[in-house]
């Protein structure tokens, strides 16, 4: 059984930084794609960034330059470093794992950007 567990969310002031993590456990195979999505109140879930098994990254254009996705293969973990945070970045951030079309989601970690 695959399990994704996010952590690292919290309250941060505008302009601040935060790093969220997602640990994957279970039957994790190679050639997977992992990613971060977010869902703000009243809005649909949207892609933030993704990273392939070979390290190719993709970002939603407005977030490129402020957010950085990375992965630690030994720990089956991906990270999302978020800098220069804005109030509009407030959302629940979800981790997604795609293994050959089989999709798994974490429970989410809440990020609130507010003074």
As a whole number of angstroms, the distance between CA 15 and CA 54 comes to: 31
In tens, the pLDDT along 47-77 reads: 999 999 999 999 998 898 999 999 998 899 9
As a whole number of angstroms, the distance between CA 102 and CA 115 comes to: 40
Number of Cβ within a 10 Å radius of residue 108 = 19
- Does the CA dihedral 93-45-50-96 come out positive or negative? positive
In tens, the pLDDT along 82-109 reads: 999 999 999 999 999 999 889 999 999 9
């Amino acid at each position: 059984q695959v399990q994704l567990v996010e952590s690292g969310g919290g309250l941060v002031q505008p302009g601040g930084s935060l790093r969220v993590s997602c640990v994957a456990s279970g039957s994790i195979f190679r050639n997977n794609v992992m990613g971060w999505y977010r869902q703000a109140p009243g809005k649909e879930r949207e892609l933030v960034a993704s990273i392939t098994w070979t390290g190719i990254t993709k970002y939603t254009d407005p977030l490129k330059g402020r957010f950085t996705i990375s992965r630690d293969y030994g720990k089956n973990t991906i990270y999302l470093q978020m800098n220069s945070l804005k109030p509009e970045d407030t959302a629940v951030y979800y981790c997604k794992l795609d293994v050959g079309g089989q999709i798994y989601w974490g429970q989410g970690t809440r990020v609130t950007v507010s003074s």
